[in-house]
A and B are shown apart, each in its own frame.
Chain A
Amino acid sequence: MDSGGIYKVILLMIFYIISVPFLSFSQDNSNSISFQSTPITIKDPISNIRMGGYFRFLGYVRNFQEMYDFDVPNYYSGEYPQSTTIGIGTGYREPMMMLSISGKANKNVNIGTDLMLNSPFNGTFDNNSVAMYLGTNLYSTINSDYGKFGVHAGGIKWYRQSKLTVWAEEGYLRHSLFERAPYDPLSKEVSERYSKYYDKGSISQDLRFGNVAFQGVTLTGSGIDGPSSSTFSFQSIIGKTQHNIGEIVSYGKDDYSTGFRLNNDIGNGSNFALNYFTSIAATDSVKNNFRQFSIQSLEFNFKLKKLRFTGEGGIGSYESHITEKESGEMLVINLDIPKEYSWIPFKLQYSRIAPEAVNVNSSFKNTSVVELVHSAIVEEGADATIMSSFGGPINNLGYLANNREGFSLNTEFKIGDLFVSGGFGFYSELERINANFSYSHNTNGLMLSRISYFSSGYGPYKQFNSYYRGVFENVSVSDSIYVNDSTLISSGYLDTNGLPLFDKFYCSSDLHLKYKTRVFGKNLYLFSLTNYNTAQDFFSILPVTNSSAFIRHFNQQFDLCYELNKTTSFVCKYGLERVLGNKYTDIDDTDPYPTDNTWGVTEDYIPSYKPRNQFGDLLGFGFDIKLNDGAYLFLRHAAFHYYDNNFSATNIKGTETTLELKINF
């Protein structure tokens, strides 16, 4: 800037300073528009934006009394480094404060979004974060003479279509209430969570329950007149589900899902619906390679006299650049028999889902297409995690899988104050694909999953695979077995290529008891949940109780809730888990720490040459304290132990105390 410029600046400044005190303005009386270099306003205000959400502080102290040694090559080898952990938050991407923002642009257009505010409270003040929690959604409705239509865009939207197309299976809602999820709603009364579960068999759930996360465009329509006084409705999506975000090749490449449902409501609680769903993903950078699966189905829901038939049937297909398109049948039929026909009500289910029918967004698990098993991706704030194979999942009752045909029977009735709910099911595999099984831990799954978040192959035998709030293990059937400590003979279960020479059969059973009584004038709720599931190579209607089953998985959980007063409940849980593998499954024949001499452990590892023999137990208690409307304090203390008698390095024992303060606003 030259000296002339400086003088101009000074003159401008002096003029400004001198003129301001002496100026006499009367802007209000002026009819002229003043010149100004900025616009008068950029936007108009709106007042209809609302904010809500919750604050949730969760602190925990965890102490491992027993823990397996830690061996990560080139990183650390030795005793588990942190037997005591003091933490804030569960370690998952869960908000400490969730701020929900919603607005109305006009009477038919809405917007909603949410923010996640977190602080580790670790004394450094520099890891606080503000981020989007789930996403931003735009909603609109269009009312017309033809019906009511809706357009939604953005995400995450929690979406479901039909059980075989897009659905997150809820099972028969048999579970323990002791552990709390961050999104569990607060109840009006302190013991409402338990009383509701006792009375209605269900608890208030977050919006996401039973739904699949979806991003994209959703079009819906309802109230469209059809023939014979029936009405049509439809819903459709185009975008990405939570399984289309792996970005296997690179960001921006094709990985989309499309779905459509046309429903005809014919009245009397009956309806029929046509469904279509497809997902396609490019698997190379140019998109010469791809994989795609599709489902076409018909849903039905009608009554014959007092018998209600519900279900869905259709055809599913899978293809890729290396696999010719193959199609297979899918059929799930439910028959509800009311107690008028039998002294207790029954629900019968027949299901048959061919191995060619694949869908990772539906209520059934994919067990047949390995490529898709590997795309079961969980993305948590950062890059995707590719999880290893699930094998043949040994599911709890009510959870279906493809490549299976089976039958289940369920019932629920009340004897006095005792609710009895239970059932059993048996399934057989339709096609021999692999010789693997998998099972999830019920009692200690949450604890074990938080040792290593979203990881595959951790643990002393690299047996754990963690997902959100859970852990599963894979089990293989061996091609040979030991007859003594050194002699191996063929098991006869695998051919020379490692493919199975046997058929898989699965059995599952539940027994859920709920009892309410009053002790010292206060409500006491008792819950008992028993799951017993097996996998074997022969047909059985009931779960197998001897070692002829490859895997026997038993789980028992007792829950107790005692209403101390109107604002405080005492809660307690005892869980017991047993997993037994037979001699044809993986055995302990390998030192899990073959290089242990490098870190000072001198004792030799002595393999047991025996299969799984796992114990898990958890004893916990706590208090639910209502501080005010929409403000709760949850205290929990639990002792847990998970060990394997035959795989001796598996021994995890500890305690955890948590304090959760949750306030809605």
Chain B
Amino acid sequence: MKNIYLYYLSFFMLFPILGQSQVKSKLWYDGNARVMYNRDALEGTLKETDTVSTRSNGGGFTILDLGFHFTPVDDIEIASEIRLKNDFGGMWGNKSVVELRRLSAKGVVNNKIAFSVGDIYLKQTKFTLYNYEQELSEYEPSVFRFYRDFVNYENYYQSNYWRLQGVQTNFSYNMYNFIEQLDFDGFAARVRGQEWMGKPELLMIGGSAVIKSSNNLNLGSHYVNTFEILSSSNSSVTYYNPVLNTQLSYSGTLKDKPYKVLLEGGFSKRGWDGDSLAPEIKGNFMEASIHSKSKKGEINLGFRYVDTDFRSTGAQTRRINYNNSTTTYPYYSNNYTQRKVSLIDMMSDPNIYNQNLSTSLMNYNPMYSSISPYGNATPNRIGLTADIDNFNLTDYLSAKVQTQYFSEIIGQGTTNKRSFNKSTLHSLLSLDKLLSLKNSFDIEGSINIETVKRGGDDFEKINLNSILYSGSISYELMKNLKIIAGAKMFYAEGNEFIAERDIYDQINDFEDINYDSKETILIAGIQHHFTEDIYFTMQYNQFNVLDKTNTYDEFSLGRLIFMFNMNL
């Protein structure tokens, strides 16, 4: 019975579309094409000691994602994207696929109400619905960008939007007094469809109302609820997770310097109807930040508090799924050891990434990210952030700096709380400007340091330090053709307690894990850019993963890679 309301909701949202009549279509296209070939080969001592794994493994594909856009009437567009893919080594139709990658329609009814339906990209606030970047991707030197582009594109990561299937509408109401504009937005998405004799249908609905005033004061309220439909399965238990977020912002200038103050807060509730064992937890959050901009750069200071029991499906779903198997050498050594997800996979393997919203907290590896594994919505955190962006020290040297200090709100398994520190620095040195060279010559460097500490007795102490050094150099040999090289070195040392959670996300136990890892990534090659998004690169990559805490063999890999990326 309950989902009848949703049917009504969907119907009325779609009603404006149904009223349109078909007239002569106009058709236009867009798309993306990519060719990628790689050959991975074992290197180092592993090549001698591992007599079972293949010495090398290669593959690749050619992809054309062709977008068809029909505009049957003004302000309405029907879009589909067809993927034409053939794997490297498949000829005459073998290993080739033609598949539908996207189908949607969008438009504006009577020049007033915008709507989207089908495969849509949705984002709301950082606490309600937000797709956070994968860990260790911030401040990454640009020579690694092609991998990041590839991973994000294959997983439908467009900025911080989640790709969902459903309907969305928004409209604005302009006024001419104190309130300048009222924005309304609503959506309904199908997170998990009906499963025969399986789990109930999981839906997400959301709505926003934003008031923009004439004195630069904005007030917004955002609501998201992720819930299961009881009658869509034979289950007697249904999940629900409403989250409400209210934002108040003010923009102004002080001594000719623009600034923006943002205050936001909200609460969540999460539980399972029909399950007497399932707890209903409620949590809240609060964030305050001030942002200012000058010719020299941008500065942002913030304070954040997120309750231990704050749960938000839309904001706490992670991109990387550590339970996924790696594509490159998922098993290695004579013991047929399963290889864990490491930095090389996070950088280059789209198959370890997740495209679906998760109703429970996903696992993470504290070695790579402890301070905010679930982004700003990471529960049980209170602390301060500060960052300076686009900091132009000279005309040839610029930098970005970020520092964060957080603490747990309550201790996990102990009364002592963890404290977290993160500092990040990125700098770009334009040697061509410094040395008055004709061709571009850039050096980039970044450092990312993260520490986790907890005091107390020996059995509860935590001391985990990780650091990532990244650097790159690119020199323009001839116009748009660059010779590039880059390196990443990651070190992690110390210990941490990993929480083991039950199906309700409640902590059952902790596993004490020691870390002593070193990972290295080296790349070198050439890259030619026709435009920002049309380029090809040919590279040799070398990867090394050494975990000194166990008896696993050091994993060393060399990769030859070619990629031609083209945005049509």
Chain A residues lying within 8 Å of B306, measured Cβ to Cβ, are none
Q: Which residues of B contact A93 (CB under 8 A)?
A: 92-93
Q: Are A38 and B111 in contact (CB under 8 A)?
A: no
Q: Mark B57-83, 1 if CB is under 8 A from A, else 0.
A: 111001110110100000000000000
A383 is an interface residue with CB less than 8 A from chain B: yes
Give the distance in Å from the alpha carbon of A116 to the alpha carbon of B6 in the complex: 41
Residue in A1, A134, A288 whose CB lies within 8 Å of B228: A1
Q: In the assembled complex, which residues on chain A have CB atoms less than 8 Å from the CB atom of B210?
A: 35
When each residue 1-31 of chain A gets 1 if its CB lies under 8 Å from chain B and 0 otherwise, what string results?
A: 1101110111011001101100111111110
How far is the CB of A250 from the nearest CB of chain B, in Å? 8
B566 touches A38 (CB 8 A): no
Within the assembled complex, what's the spacing in Å between the Cα atoms of A382 and B94?
5
Minimal beta-carbon separation of B247 from chain A (angstroms): 10
A108 at the interface (CB under 8 A from B): yes
CB of A252 within 8 A of CB of B12, answer no
A23 lies within 8 A of B33 (CB): no
In the complex, whether A457 has a CB less than 8 A from a CB of chain B is no
Residues of B close to A245: CB separation below 8 A: 89-91, 94
B96–A286 touching, CB < 8 Å: no
A residues less than 8 Å from B240 (CB atoms) = 1-2, 5
Assess the A42–B121 pair: CB atoms within 8 A: yes
- Kindly provide the distance from the CB of A152 to the nearest chain B CB, expressed in whole angstroms: 9
- Of residues 360 through 401 on chain A, the ones whose CB sits less than 8 Å from some CB of chain B are 379-383
Q: Do the beta carbons of B30 and A43 come within 8 Å of each other?
A: yes
B192 → A minimal CB distance (Å): 14
User: Cβ of A541 < 8 Å from any Cβ of B?
Assistant: no
B375 interface contact, C-beta 8 A: no
Chain B proximity of A543: nearest CB distance (Å):
36
B85 proximity list for chain A (CB < 8 A): 132
Chain B contacts of A44 at CB under 8 A? 30
**If the complex has contacts A2-B273, A35-B220, A239-B88, are A287 and B536 also in contact, measured as CB distance less than 8 A?**
no
Give the residues in chain A near B54, CB-CB below 8 Å: 252-253, 282, 285-287
Instruction: List, in ascending order, chain A residues with CB within 8 A of B96's CB.
Output: 131-132, 135
Question: Contact at A1–B183, with CB atoms within 8 Å?
Answer: no
Q: Does A496 contact B (CB under 8 A)?
A: no
Among the 9-residue stretches B200-208, B467-475, B490-498, the one with 4 or more Cβ atoms under 8 Å from chain A is B200-208
Complex formed: what's the CA distance from A57 to B55 in Å? 48
B35 and A138 contacting across the interface, CB-CB below 8 Å: yes
CB distance from B529 to the nearest CB of A (A): 11
Give the number of residue pairs across the A-B interface with Cβ within 8 Å.
Answer: 282
Q: Which residues of chain A (197-251) have a CB below 8 Å from chain B?
A: 213, 215-217, 239-240, 242, 244-245, 247, 251
Taken residue by residue from 171 to 212, chain A's Cβ proximity to chain B (1 for < 8 Å, 0 otherwise) reads as 000000000000000000000000000000000000000000
At the interface, yes or no: A156 with Cβ under 8 Å from chain B? yes
Partner of A1, one of B2, B35, B170: B2
Give chain A residues whose Cβ lies under 8 Å from the Cβ of B129.
Answer: 37
Q: Is B159 an interface residue (CB 8 A)?
A: yes
Residues of B within 8 A of A380 (CB): 92-94
Question: Which of the 9-residue segments B112-120, B317-325, B551-559 touches chain A?
Answer: B112-120
B62 touches A155 (CB 8 A): yes
Q: A13-B9, A39-B161, A253-B57 are in contact. Are A286 and B89 (CB under 8 A)?
A: no
Answer whether A215 and B88 are a contact pair too, CB < 8 Å, given A2-B273, A5-B242: yes
- B332 CB, min distance to chain A CBs, angstroms: 12
Contact among A32, A116, A131 for B181, CB-based, below 8 A: A32
Name which residue of chain B comes closest to A101, CB basis.
B66
Q: A residues within 8 A CB of B30?
A: 43-46
B178 within 8 A of A: no
CB-defined contacts of A28 to chain B, threshold 8 Å: 111
The B-contacting residues of A in range 28-68, CB under 8 angstroms, are: 28-30, 32, 34-39, 42-47, 49
Q: Is the CB of A103 within 8 A of B88?
A: no
* In the complex, B461 has a CB within 8 A of chain A: no
Residues of chain B contacted by A17 (CB below 8 angstroms): 12
CB contacts (< 8 Å) of B122 on chain A: these are 37-38
Question: Which among B88, B98, B170 is the interface contact of A37 at CB below 8 angstroms?
Answer: B170
Chain B interface main SS type = strand
A26 in contact with B88 (CB, 8 Å): no
Does A111 touch B at the CB level, under 8 Å? yes
Question: At the interface, yes or no: B51 with Cβ under 8 Å from chain A?
Answer: yes
| B305 contacts A by Cβ under 8 Å | no
Say yes or no: is B466 at the interface (Cβ < 8 Å to chain A). Answer: no
A136 pairs with B64, CB closer than 8 A:
yes
Question: With an 8 A cutoff between CB atoms, is A151 at the interface?
Answer: yes
Give the CA-CA distance A286 to B54 in the complex, in Å: 4
In this complex, the interface size class of chain B, counting residues with CB under 8 Å from chain A, is 35 or more
- Tell whether B174 is near chain A: CB-to-CB under 8 Å: yes
A130 and B113 contact, CB distance less than 8 A: no
**A residues within 8 A CB of B207?**
12
* Interface pair A154/B225, CB less than 8 Å apart: no
Residues of B within 8 A of A32 (CB): 172, 180-181, 212
**Chain A residues near B481 (CB-CB < 8 A):** 142
Report which of A144, A254, A286 forms a contact with B53, defined as CB distance below 8 A.
Answer: A286
Bound form: Cα–Cα A286–B46 in Å: 13
Inter-chain contact A8/B91, CB cutoff 8 Å: no
Q: Is the CB of A5 within 8 A of B227?
A: yes
What is the minimal beta-carbon distance from B118 to any residue of chain A, in angstroms? 11
Contact pick for A38, options B88, B168, B536, CB 8 Å: B168
Select from chain B the residue with minimum beta-carbon distance to A28: B111
Are B88 and A286 closer than 8 Å at their CB atoms? no
Write the chain A residue with the least CB distance to B58.
Answer: A252
Q: A217 with B534: in contact, given A1-B229, A25-B174, A240-B89 (CB under 8 Å)?
A: no
B168-214: which have CB < 8 Å to A? 168-174, 180-181, 183-187, 205-208, 210, 212
Q: B538: which A residues are within 8 A, CB to CB?
A: 217
Known: A1-B273, A12-B186, A37-B122. A105 touches B568 (CB 8 A): yes
Q: Is B376 an interface residue (CB 8 A)?
A: no
Contact, CB under 8 Å: A151 / B536: yes
B123 interface hit (Cβ, 8 Å):
yes
CB distance from B221 to the nearest CB of A (A): 11
> Does A106 interact with chain B (Cβ within 8 Å)?
yes
**In the complex, what distance in Å separates the CA atom of A480 from the CA atom of B67?**
68
A389-B12 Cα distance, complex, nearest whole Å = 69
Contact with B along A285-311 (1 / 0, CB 8 A): 111100000000000000000000000
Residue of chain B at shortest CB distance from A27: B172
The answer to whether A216 and B88 have CB atoms under 8 Å apart is yes
| B37, CB-defined interface residue at 8 Å | yes
On chain A, the residues within 8 Å of B89 by CB distance are: 215, 240, 244-245, 247, 251, 255
A153 touches B564 (CB 8 A): yes
Contacts of A133 in B (CB 8 A): 93
Q: Is A663 an interface residue, CB under 8 A from the partner?
A: no
Instruction: Flag if B562 contacts A153 (CB, 8 Å).
Output: yes
Q: How far is the CB of B65 from chain A (nearest CB, A)?
A: 10
Task: Kindly state the separation between the CA atoms of A661 and B394 in the bound complex, as whole angstroms.
Answer: 71
The smallest beta-carbon distance between B43 and chain A, in angstroms, is 14
| List of A residues within 8 angstroms of B562 by Cβ | 153, 217
Question: Which B residues contact A (CB, under 8 angstroms)?
Answer: 2, 5-6, 8-9, 12-13, 28-33, 35, 37, 39, 51-59, 62-64, 66-67, 69, 84-86, 88-94, 96-98, 106, 111-114, 116, 120-124, 129, 158-159, 161, 168-174, 180-181, 183-187, 205-208, 210, 212, 220, 223, 225, 227-230, 238, 240, 242, 273, 478-481, 528, 530-531, 534, 536, 538, 562, 564, 566-568
> Which 9 A-B pairs have CB atoms at the shortest separation, nearest pair first?
A153-B35, A1-B227, A154-B62, A381-B93, A287-B55, A132-B96, A36-B170, A25-B112, A35-B183
21 A-B contacts (beta carbon < 8 Å): A4-B242, A5-B225, A8-B223, A16-B9, A20-B171, A35-B170, A37-B187, A38-B106, A39-B158, A42-B158, A108-B530, A111-B33, A113-B84, A140-B536, A156-B91, A215-B89, A256-B58, A286-B51, A286-B54, A379-B92, A381-B94
15 A-B pairs besides A38-B116, A38-B120, A49-B66 with CB distance below 8 A are: A9-B225, A12-B205, A23-B173, A24-B173, A25-B111, A37-B122, A38-B121, A101-B66, A103-B31, A105-B531, A153-B35, A153-B562, A216-B37, A239-B37, A286-B51
